[in-house]
Chain A
Amino acid sequence: MSRKNRAIRDRRIRTVLWGSLILAFVLVELCIHPFNWKTESHRSPGTQITLEAVSDFLIVVDYSLIEAPADTFLEMSFSLAWLNTFQQEIGPVSLMGSVEFQEADISRYRCIVLTASAAQQDSWVPKIRSFLERGGTVLMEMPGNKLREIASADGKGGVRMAQNLTYAKDMPPEMMQHLSDVNLSNMTQIIGSAGPLEDSQTWMNIDGVPVIYTKTYATGKVITLDFNYGMLLTALQQGRPLDDFTIRNVRDSNLIESSDLASNANVNVPIADILERFLIYGVLSDAMPVVGFWPYFDGLDGAFVVSHRENGNGDAAIWMAQYEATFKATSTVFVSSPLTMTDAGLDAFDNTHADLGLMFELGDSETSRSREPMGMFKISPVWRTLNVEEQLETVKARLDEKTPLITSFSRDGIWNSDYTRTFQILSAAGFRADASYRAGLDEPGYAFSTGIPFMPIDTNGLVFNILEFPVSFPEMQTSEQLTVLENFLAESEKLHHEVIGVSFDPNQFPAHPRAETFQVWQSAYKLASQHKHWITSILSFFRFSRARFTAELKTRYSEMQMGHKKVTVLRIETLAPEAGMSVTVPKMIQERTFTESRRGIQRVRDDAVLADPIAARPLVVDGFERILIPLSKGFNAIDVMYE
C-alpha cells in the first residue's frame, strides 16, 4: 500500500474513531441536558350563550356588536360581565340576544337589564315603555339614542375615562372610602351630562358626575348606569392587561404569573363585590324587592375553599385530605401529569371524598414534570413537553370514568402573556373551573377584588364556560398569615360573606417540619368553622353554584289586609335542586319591616294563617340588611310578611 493510500486510510480511521467518540459524547450530553420540544395547546375562544331560566331577571346583550374581535382592551365588549353579577348575587337569570329579545314575551320578567351592547336599539323603545307601564324595572347601561330619552340624563358631556368614585348613597363611610380609593383610570368610562336628571334619585357619582340614578317611569322604574359597569367589573375581577392585551410582568421574573393581572391595590376589601351588592341590594332592591339564592351551603356565612398541590409527591400528598375527611370537609387536590399516585393511593383518596384537579404546566422548562422522552434504547436526546390537553388525558387515563377531572390550576400560577390565551387553552381542554388566579405570595387577599368565582370574558366579548376561583391565600404557612386569614374570616362572617380560597402544600410540613406550619394549617380549619364558613372543595362549590344558576326562582309581592293591619306579602316560588339551599330577601320593603316567613300558607280566615313558620335569620351583606330563609330540597312556596 502506498504511503498516500495509507495516509488516506488512516485519515478515514481517525475520522470514524473521533467522529464516533464525539457522537457518543454528544449523545451522553444530550441525554443529560436534552432538548425540549414544546407542543402547542389547542385553543377555544369564548362562546355565545343563551340562558332560559325561571327567574325575575333578564339580561339582554347584542351579539352582533359583541362578537367582533377587539384590538384593544377599551374596545372590548363587557356586556356579559353582567351575568357574573346576577349569577353571583341572585342565581338564576335569563340571558337573551337582541334578535330573540325582539320577539320575546318579556311580561314574565320583573327586571330587564339592557347591557351597553343592547342599550342602543331605538326600535325597542315601545317594548320597554310598555314593560315599564306594567310596573317593571329596567336597568340600562350607558344607554344611547332613543332609549336614553326614556328616563336618562342628556349625556351631552360625552364618553370619557373615569378617575374616582366620589359619592355612593347611604354607603357606610369606611366602605365609601375603600371605593373612592380605587383608581378608575383605564378601568371604566363614564357618560357626562349637562346636569342631573330631574326627579331622579342619584345613587352614585364618579368624578362628580351622576353615574347611577333611578327615575320613575309610569308605574315602573328606570335605573341608568352612565358608566361602563361591565368594564369596571371585568378589570377588577379578571384583571386589567395593557391595551394590546399583553400582561405586564410586575415582579422582575422571566415568566408571567396570574398575580401580574391583579389590579386591586387594597387586597383587604373585595371591591368588586361591594360594587355588585351596592347595585343589587341597594339600587335595584330599592326599585323592586330582590330575592336571590344565598351562595353558601346551609346558610353559612361564607365559604372556605381549600385546595392542595400534589406537586408530583403521589400518595404522600393526600394526608391533608384525609384529615379533612375526619370532620367531613372536602378539598381539591391538584395533581400533576403524569400522575404519580399509586392505585392504592387513589383508593385511599376516594375515601376522603375530596376531588381531583389538574395542576397543568404551561412552560417548557427543564423542571417540567409533564414531559416524555423521545428516543430509543434509553437514549433520549429530546423531551417533548405535553400540552394541557395531553396532560389532562395522561391523568384521566389513570382514573376511572366516573371520576370528574374538570378543575385546573396552573403550576406556580404561571400564566400566558396574552390576557385570555390561557383561558382559551383551558376551554379547549374542557375544564369547567380553574383556580390559577392567585394573590401574590407576599400579599394575600382579594387581589382580584373578589373571592367569589366568576366567568372570564374573552377578548371577543364572549364568555368562557369556566368559573375562575381566585385564591386569596396561595401559601398558608406562618402565624402572621393566619392572623390575616382570621381577620378576613371575621370580616367575611359579619360583612362581606365571601369565598376565601386557600391553598396548602402537603409537602411543606414533611419537608420542612416546623410546628408552626402544621398548627397554622389545622388552625385555619378551626377558624373557618368558628366564623361559620363552609369548608369545601372547588368542585363542590362549583356544583352548588351550578345548582343555584339552574334553580327556579320567581317572586311577586302585594299588599293585603290582615285584620286591621296592612301588610306586604312577598310570595316566593322556587325549585331548589340541592339540599342546603336558602334565599335572602330584603329586611325592608318600602317602609315595612320583615316579620315572619311561612311555608305553604293556607289562609283559612282573613286574619289568621295556618302554616309552617320558617326560622329565618338576619344578616348584613356589605352594609345591606337581608333576611336569610332556608329552603327544602324541591319545590318551596314561601310567603314573607312585612308590616
Chain B
Amino acid sequence: MRSESSFTHRFRIDLIILLILFVIGLGTLLHHFPVTISSNDATGTVLMPLQLGQSGTLLILPDTPENAETFSGLDFSFAWYNLLTQYVGTFGIAQTRDIQSASAMQAQLIVVPQRSAESMSESQIQIIAQAVQKGATLIVEMPTPEWAPLTAIKRRTKVNTSIKHFTDATNSPLSGTWRDHLLNTPLDTQVMRLDALDSETLATDAMLLELDGAIAHYKRPLGAGTVFVLAFNLGQALTALEQGRPSESFAIEVETPPKTSDLVMNEKLRTSTVPYADLLKNHLILSTLYVAPMPIIWPFPESGKAALIVTHETGMMDDQAFGLAEYERSLNMTSTWLTTAGKISKKTLDTWKNAQFDIGVSLLRPPVGRIYEPYGLPFFQPVVVERSMTNQMNAVVRRLGAKVTSCRIAGSAWDPDYTYSFRKLTAAECQIDMSYAPTAEGEYGYLFGSGFPFLPIERNGLPLPSYEFPVLINDEVGLESLPPHAALKMLTESEATWHEPVHVLFNADTMLQHPSHVSPESWLELLQYAQDNQIWVTSAKDFMHYYTLRKQTRLSYAFHPQTKVLDARIILPNMNRSYTVGLPRRTAYGTIHDVWVNKTAQDVATLKTTGDGALLLISVPSGEHLVQAQYQ
C-alpha cells in the first residue's frame, strides 16, 4: 500500500519516459559534443642510406655514429652526402673501416669529411695518399696533422667559430656575380686558423677561398693527383644554412610556437633570392672539376636548367579545391596536392591520382589544428580520437588505395627540438616533407640557402630518411607583401642563373583566408612562363623520382691528361625522360672542343650550357652510353 502511494510508483510511467528522454538528450548532446581523446605522434629512427649506383666518386663516412650534445659537436658528414647527390648525382659511399687499398685506388674523386678525417689511421691516410699520387683527386675537410703528407699542414691549429665571412675568392671558378654573392654567403661554421702552410708556399692559383684573411680552401698537387683542403667545416656551414641553426642545445628558442622559418640561420636569408648554400657547393665542385674533369648527372632532365615544383594544400576545402588542378592538367602539367585527412572524397583522389598528380597529406597538428576520428555508430558517435600524423597519413593511404610519399605539417608548425619533427615524419612514412617554407609576411626565396631537397641530419650524424624539400614561395604569407612578380623572378633567375628547383606552395584555401589577386596571378604567370620556356613543371614526387634515380647511375670515367680526352661510360636507369649529363667546359686542360655521344659527334655550339658557362649539358636517354670529350 505504501509502495503504491509513493511518488516513484505513481509517476513511474512519467519517470520512465523522462529517463528515456534524458538518455536521448544526453546521447544527442554527446553526439554533438563528443568526448575527446588525444593522441601522441610516434617517432622513427635514422637509416644509413644504401649504396645504389657505382661511380669513381667515393664519400668516406665515419664508422660509428655518436650522439652530439651540442650543435657544433654534430657530425656533419652527411651534408657531403647531400652535396654529392645534388651536384654529382651518383657516387659511392664507404665507412672509414672499409678503406682498403683496392677500393680507394679505384676512386678518382675521394671526399673525406672532417669526422672521417679525424678518425682515419695513418695507414688509411697512406692508402688515400697513394691513390692521389696515382692521379685521384682528394677533398679533405679540416684535416688533422696526420694528413700532413697530403695537406702540408703539420701543426694542430686553433679552431675558431667566430669568423663568419669570406674575404677573398680570387681563384674561385665562379665568376662575376656568382663570386660577389659567394663572398656574401652567411656562415656559421668552425674554422681552422690557417695563415700559411708549414712546408711550402702556396702556388699563386692554389688559394681558392679566404676567410677573414686566413686560408679556407686551397688545392695542392700531389704526384699525379690533387688535394683540395677545406680549412672550415663545409658540412656544418651547409647544414646550418639548409637544415637551419638551432641553439647549441638543439632547441628552437622562440616565444611563440615554433615554425620552420625560426630555424633560418641569418635574417637576410628571409628575403634571399640567392641560393647561398648552392653557391658554396658550386664553388667547391667546379674547383674540383677544373683540375679533374668528370661527367656529372645534372639534377634536371632533358637539358633543363630549372624546374617548377608546384604544391597545393587543400586546407579546409573539400573537393572544390582541385579546381586549380584542372588548369594544370589542361597544360599537361602535374603538381602535388596535400590533402587534409578525411576532407577529400575517394572519387576526387582517384581522379587526380590517375591523372599522375601526386597526392600527399597536409598534416594538421597543434597548435595549427587537430583532426578527430569519430567512433561509434553512424547516428551516434560519442567519442572522437585525435588523429596522429601516422593516422592522418594512413587515412589518406586507405582512401587513395596507394602509397603516399609527400607531406607537410600544416602551417609549418615545428617541434621546439631541432630534429623531433623529422623523427615524427619518419614514423609517419613521409618520404618528402615540405614544411620548410616561408611563414611570415614578406618572407620568400632561399630561406634555407637552396631549392634542392636534402636529407636532414639527426643528432647522431646519420640522415633521417625523409627528404626535406624547401618551399621558396608560400602564398600563405600573403604574396602582396612580396616585391611585385617575386615568384616569377625566382623562376626566371633560376633558369638563367642559379639552376634551382623552384618549389612553390599555393594553398587552395588562401583566397578564402586572405584573398588577394596576387596569389592566383603569381600562380598563373609562373605556369605561363614555364610553358612558354619549356620548363619542367611537376610534382615533388616526380622531381624526387628523377633526382634520386640519378643515384642508381653506373658511371666510370677516365681523363687522359696527355691527350686531354675525357672518356666516360654511363649506364642510366630506366625512366620515361632523358637524363642530362653535365661536362665541365673550362678546365686546366683547356676548353671543351668536341663531344661524342655513342661515337656520334655533337654540335658543341648548339648544346645548352649553365648560366655561368661552366657546364655543358647533354640530354641522353636511359641505357648505356659512351661519352667522350676533347679539350684543347
Contacts and interface: CB of A to CB of B under 8 A. Distances in A.
Question: Do A and B come from the same complex?
Answer: yes
Contacts of A6: 5, 10
B515 A319 contact: yes
A352 to B, nearest CB: 12
B524 to A, nearest CB: 6
Contacts of B10: 6, 10
A316 B524 contact: no
Nearest to B506: A513
Nearest to A13: B11
A42 interface: no
Contact of A513 (B11, B14, B324, B516): B324
A516 B520 CA distance: 11
A506 interface: yes
Contact of B515 (A14, A18, A506, A512): A506
Interface in A284-337: 316, 319-320, 322-323
A320 B21 CA distance: 52
A353 B89 CA distance: 55
B511 A513 contact: yes
Given A10-B10, A518-B524, A519-B524, A512 B323 contact: yes
A347 to B, nearest CB: 15
A169 interface: no
Given A319-B516, A320-B517, A514 B323 contact: yes
B33 interface: no
A323 B515 contact: no
A604 interface: no
Given A17-B14, A513-B321, A322 B520 contact: no
Contacts of B512: 316, 510-511
Interface in B509-536: 509, 511-512, 514-517, 520-521, 524
B515 A515 contact: no
Contacts of A515: 323-324, 326-327, 520, 524
Interface string A507-525: 0011111111011001000
Contacts of A506: 515
B230 interface: no
Nearest to A516: B327
B320 A323 contact: no
Contacts of B511: 319, 509-510, 513
A511 B318 CA distance: 10
B376 to A, nearest CB: 24
B508 interface: yes
A532 B11 CA distance: 84
Interface string B435-461: 000000000000000000000000000
Contacts of B18: 17
Interface string A98-133: 000000000000000000000000000000000000
Interface string B489-518: 000000000000000000011011011110
Interface size bracket, B side? 20 to 34
Contacts of B514: 316
Nearest to B514: A316
A322 B517 contact: yes
**Dominant SS among interface residues on chain B:** helix
B327 A322 contact: no
Contact of B14 (A14, A320, A512): A14
**Dominant SS among interface residues on chain A:** helix
B214 to A, nearest CB: 51
A315 to B, nearest CB: 9
B320 A511 contact: yes
Contacts of B11: 10, 13-14
A59 B11 CA distance: 87
A506 B512 CA distance: 10
A319 B512 CA distance: 11
B516 A322 contact: yes
Contacts of B320: 511-513
Nearest to B518: A323
B335 to A, nearest CB: 12
A518 B522 CA distance: 12
A511 B10 CA distance: 59
Contacts of B14: 14, 17-18
Contacts of B321: 513
B326 A316 contact: no
A492 to B, nearest CB: 25
Interface in B1-27: 5, 10-11, 14, 18, 21
Contacts of A323: 517
Nearest to A320: B517
Nearest to B21: A21
A179 B604 CA distance: 70
A21 B18 CA distance: 10
A522 B521 contact: yes
A354 to B, nearest CB: 14
A518 B326 CA distance: 13
A470 to B, nearest CB: 27
Nearest to A326: B517
Given A513-B324, A513-B508, A518 B520 contact: yes
A319 to B, nearest CB: 4
Interface centre among B321, B327, B508, B515 (most CB of A within 10 A): B515
A504 B10 CA distance: 67
A515 B328 CA distance: 9
Interface string B302-342: 00000000000000010011011011000000000000000
Nearest to A508: B511
B331 to A, nearest CB: 10
Nearest to B527: A515
Nearest to A521: B517
Interface string A1-29: 00000100010011001100100000000
A515 B323 CA distance: 7
Contacts of A511: 320, 512
Contacts of A516: 327
B632 to A, nearest CB: 52
B238 to A, nearest CB: 38
Contacts of B327: 514-516
A593 to B, nearest CB: 48
Nearest to A514: B323
A500 B195 CA distance: 77
Nearest to A25: B21
A512 B512 CA distance: 10
A518 B321 CA distance: 14
Contacts of B326: 514-515
A519 B527 CA distance: 13
B19 to A, nearest CB: 13
Nearest to A17: B14
Given A14-B14, A322-B516, A515-B323, 13 more contacts: A10-B11, A14-B11, A17-B14, A18-B14, A21-B21, A316-B515, A506-B515, A510-B511, A513-B317, A514-B327, A515-B326, A518-B520, A518-B521
A-B residue pairs, 6 tightest by C-beta: A515-B327, A510-B511, A323-B517, A514-B323, A319-B515, A513-B323
13 contacts: A14-B14, A18-B14, A323-B517, A510-B511, A510-B512, A512-B320, A513-B508, A514-B326, A515-B326, A515-B520, A515-B524, A516-B327, A518-B520
